[in-house]
Structure 1
Amino acid sequence: MTFDQLTATAAAERMTGRRRFALIVLLTASFTLAVDFSVLNVALPTIGADVGFALANLQWIATAFALCSAGFTLFFGRIADLFGRRRLFLAGMALLGVASLAGGLATSPAALLIARVAQGLATAAVTPAALSLLTTSFPEGRLRDRALGLNGALMAAGFTSGAVLGGVLTDLLSWRWAFFLNIPVVLFVLFAARTVLTESRPAARPRIDLPGAITVTLALLAVIYGATSASSHGWGDPLVLGSLIVGVLLLGAFWMIEKRVAAPLVPVAILGRRNVGWGNIAGLLAFLTETSLVFLLTLYLQDVLGYSPLEAGLSFAVLGVGTVLGGVLGPKLIARINAKRTLVAGFGVQAVATASLVLLGPAPAWIALLLAATFVGGIANLVAIVGFMVTATAGLPDEEQGLATGLTTMSQQVGITLGIPLMSAIATAQSSVLAGVTTAIYVNTTLCVLAALLLGTNLRPTT
């Protein structure tokens, strides 16, 4: 390699001031969207009383957001590739600001649900656009791994801290501030993004795969609706089963469409790459296991130990610290032992930490084990998440990064959405809360072990 080439490589791998500020802008947006996913959960009864929701319909405040954020993310990820990532990022953030203002001012169930739908659509647009801007702003290697590690850490911290923030705001101010706090963040991101983020899109704009876009969006909506409805109606409910079956059939139809159209929404060749396919399976399992574990431990803390919602939320602060440490540790491990081994190690340690929680009992002293296990498990889970992000986006050209990050976003949001109703069904089938939580923790541990074995057997090293 010549001196000029070495100089150019060193410059590409340097964290400049502009890159650092761009990273701050993108991470701020990602953290805010992650908080929005869970910030209202603790406040649902209060919201229902203020706005006039019937108890049976409260779940729609969360479900409306989840449906749109997971159902449209793959479509918007491809739109970002075709029409401009920066443009979609800015449009999505603007929509988030308007939706947050509308949600904070809502005085009827219809107005609040419309605001949550708009927030979900904004999340589906911004998340893959932000990730693709991140992956195209940082060259593949050490810098990108660090950026993805920080992004994963802040997103996971956002999911876990959303419940804490929701409890604090509801107790001290009002649940409406969970919406209003987004507005200054949106204004900062919109202003700053115009100065540090550059547009990127292909010179020749291909035709959009409308049949594929409609089919996959309807498929994801059906699957997510079935999964979220299962928590209140049960997995045997005809509507739940019907939605899941329709979703699977539509996914099959989508696969057939993508094999035939000239400009597919998701080229089949990309899905056939082991790093993309197995990387996204890893992401789905990483988010499914950890977010559903938080749900199970919330049941344990409130229904077995008698904690208040706010006390239960604050108990997960150590998990948040663990996720940040895991986000920092993940890129270092990838640089030393490669992404595949990092993924396997992350799931392996997470399995051990989760398995220890089957020992939890009704005595207050068991909180020490819970704190230690969630801290270690949080580190391991984020190590796995960083490995998943690096693996699923590695080796792809810039023009396919929006698609790749759309797939990763879809995997994590589907994992989050499926995990809670799945573990809820397992836990509620037992004779007591403690027995149900313990049984579900066994299943959660098994999924972690299965993930480590599958990835160790089928994934090829990418770094």
Structure 2
Amino acid sequence: MTITTAPPQRFSGRQRLILFVLLGAGFMMSADFSILNVALPEIGAGVGLGLDHLAWIASAFALPAAGFTLLFGRLADLFGRRRLFLLGIILLAGASLLGGLATNPELLLLARVLQGLATAMALPASMSLLTTTFTEGSQRDRVLGLNGALLSGGFTVGALVGGTLVGLLSWRAAFFINLPVAVVLLAVTPLLIKESYDGTRRKLDVPGAVTVTGGLLAVTYAVIERHLLVAIAGVILLAAFWLIELRSTAPLAPVRILRRPTVKWGNYAGLVIFTMETGMIFLMTLYLQEVLHLSPLTTGLIFGLPGLSSVVAGVIAGRLIGRLGGRKLLVAGLAVQALATLPLVFLGTHRIALLIVIPALFIGFFGHVTAIVSYTVTGTSGLPNHEQGLATGLTTLTQQIAITIGIPILSAIAATQAVQLTGIRLALSVNVAVTLLSAGLIWIGLRTRTTATDRASERLEVSVAR
């Protein structure tokens, strides 16, 4: 018996326009996040926010973005993915306008909270629109590869142009730049994308929604502020959420979906991918500016230019995953991310170290985005359309939490050493060890069930052929 692989399906003209809208939205959000990071000192000075509270410009966004993602992902399934996407874009536009006009810390932080809520609404909705519009297989793999490439491209573009934009205009431009893009998205989305939702109207699992949102908010806050009591409260709420879901007749997140190896190990991989890479970028920023005494502009170029490899990786990974399989490409991407970080552990205090830093970042970013595409495909595969909002909500939630906790965790490890460079080396060593160990666990965790799934798919193809 010979099983042939169907040739890759080409995108229709309408599908290309849908890709332009949904991927463009993700690109806008990632570029905006990067631009705002570059503008943090200017933003704080502009509204009178002291240096000791500057981190809350990022944290005010991260808390709702992480805490509400799962809830809004499920609401998209139940009440309309396009509806949630459009509401998220409207809220993002309003929040960006408020942030650009802010004259005091209270208005600015409120704008950031609303931007976080908008991201929690729009990102899982746009991802589930992608996974329900494009069929599972080579077509969806290519789409998710392009999504990974453009998300990474957004970070890279933000790093390269953020300082220039803020320098030529002002920090307010970092907020206002969202408005024209949002207007275009709101105008064309209803014309191109049909409403998509789970047709069976069910009641929202309110106890589950309250406990999971409260738990995620508490845990995220506890990591940012290193607050033990809040962390315990968050864990208790998440445990209560788990018990509620076991007994609920219409659960917010059916526990059975978390038992799927692809969902479980895919999201674990995403947690490691983003936590370790976000922490590495922060540590290398400290190294470049505090140890090598480079300017912020030079630092942005050092990250931005190698970051272009991540765009290429997204395109390539979307095609390779159909040939190699998600498991192989995911583990390979994680291994490359870790091994490219290894040389950074041995950097010294002379600028000749840049001869190691730039190639290592180039290779590491390539592996990083390859792993992102693979984990996204893995975490959303094998699920029916009515659970795609939940699945993409989980992958987006994983990403938001990981980005939030990566810096506090690795910076806390670095802070255990009296000498800054020694602390950076220690934290990067932990980064490499955790990533490589996780790659091995994921390889084992996906092995048995993936083989069983492949056999089931083969039997299905044979039965259909007959």
Shorter-chain TM range is over 0.9
Counterpart contact for 2:159–2:303, Cα < 8 Å: no
Equivalent residue for 1:202, pick from 180, 198, 202: 198
Secondary structure of the equivalent of 1:459? helix
Shift of 1:335: 1.5
How many aligned positions are there? Answer: 446
RMSD of equivalent CA atoms: 1.6
Counterpart contact for 1:89–1:125, Cα < 8 Å: yes
Aligned residue in 2 for 1:29: 25
Aligned residue in 1 for 2:463: none
Letter in 2 for 1:207: K
Aligned residue in 2 for 1:272: 259
Counterpart contact for 1:285–1:451, Cα < 8 Å: yes
Counterpart contact for 1:284–1:411, Cα < 8 Å: yes
Shift of 1:160: 4.6
Q: Does residue 49 of structure 2 align to residue 62 of structure 1?
A: no
Aligned residue in 1 for 2:313: 326
Measured in 1, the distance between the counterparts of 2:270 and 2:44 equals 33
Q: Does residue 404 of structure 2 align to residue 417 of structure 1?
A: yes
Measured in 1, the distance between the counterparts of 2:429 and 2:237 equals 32
For residues 201-350 of structure 1, the aligned pairs below 5 Å read 201-230=197-226, 240-350=227-337
Q: 1:316 to 1:187 in 2, by over 3 A?
A: same
Shift of 1:170: 2.4
Q: Does residue 111 of structure 2 align to residue 115 of structure 1?
A: yes
Q: Which runs of 5+ in 1 are unaligned?
A: 1-5, 231-239
Letter in 1 for 2:342: A
Shift of 1:157: 3.2
Counterpart contact for 2:145–2:319, Cα < 8 Å: no
Q: Does residue 356 of structure 2 align to residue 360 of structure 1?
A: no
Between 340-349 and 69-78, the greater mean CA deviation after superposition: 340-349
Q: Deviations over 1:72-103 (max 9, x none)?
A: 00000000000000011011001111110110
Measured in 1, the distance between the counterparts of 2:389 and 2:45 equals 41
Counterpart contact for 1:27–1:151, Cα < 8 Å: yes
TM-score by length of 2: 0.93
Measured in 2, the distance between the counterparts of 1:103 and 1:398 equals 36
Q: 1:406 to 1:283 in 2, by over 3 A?
A: same
Measured in 2, the distance between the counterparts of 1:242 and 1:310 equals 40
Measured in 1, the distance between the counterparts of 2:439 and 2:329 equals 10
Counterpart contact for 1:291–1:416, Cα < 8 Å: yes
Aligned residue in 2 for 1:162: 158
Aligned residue in 1 for 2:415: 428
Letter in 1 for 2:152: A
Q: 1:114 to 1:76 in 2, by over 3 A?
A: same
Between 73-82 and 157-166, the greater mean CA deviation after superposition: 157-166
Shift of 1:166: 3.2
TM-score by length of 1: 0.93
Shift of 1:293: 1.0
Counterpart contact for 1:288–1:416, Cα < 8 Å: yes
Letter in 1 for 2:185: V
Q: Deviations over 1:8-54 (max 9, x none)?
A: x88x9330011111111111111111233343223222222221113
Q: Deviations over 1:176-197 (max 9, x none)?
A: 0000000011011111211211
Counterpart contact for 2:98–2:111, Cα < 8 Å: yes
Measured in 2, the distance between the counterparts of 1:319 and 1:419 equals 21
Aligned residue in 2 for 1:97: 93
Q: Does residue 355 of structure 2 align to residue 391 of structure 1?
A: no
Aligned residue in 2 for 1:406: 393
Measured in 1, the distance between the counterparts of 2:284 and 2:268 equals 24
Counterpart contact for 2:68–2:117, Cα < 8 Å: yes
Q: Which runs of 5+ in 2 are unaligned?
A: 455-466
Counterpart contact for 1:318–1:374, Cα < 8 Å: no
Identity %: 54
Measured in 1, the distance between the counterparts of 2:161 and 2:413 equals 28
Equivalent residue for 2:174, pick from 178, 187, 206: 178
Counterpart contact for 2:149–2:311, Cα < 8 Å: yes
Counterpart contact for 1:166–1:175, Cα < 8 Å: no
Shift of 1:161: 4.1
Aligned residue in 1 for 2:127: 131
Letter in 2 for 1:306: H
Measured in 1, the distance between the counterparts of 2:195 and 2:411 equals 43
Measured in 1, the distance between the counterparts of 2:307 and 2:126 equals 22
Q: 1:395 to 1:117 in 2, by over 3 A?
A: same
Q: Does residue 427 of structure 2 align to residue 440 of structure 1?
A: yes
Letter in 1 for 2:92: L
Counterpart contact for 2:321–2:374, Cα < 8 Å: yes
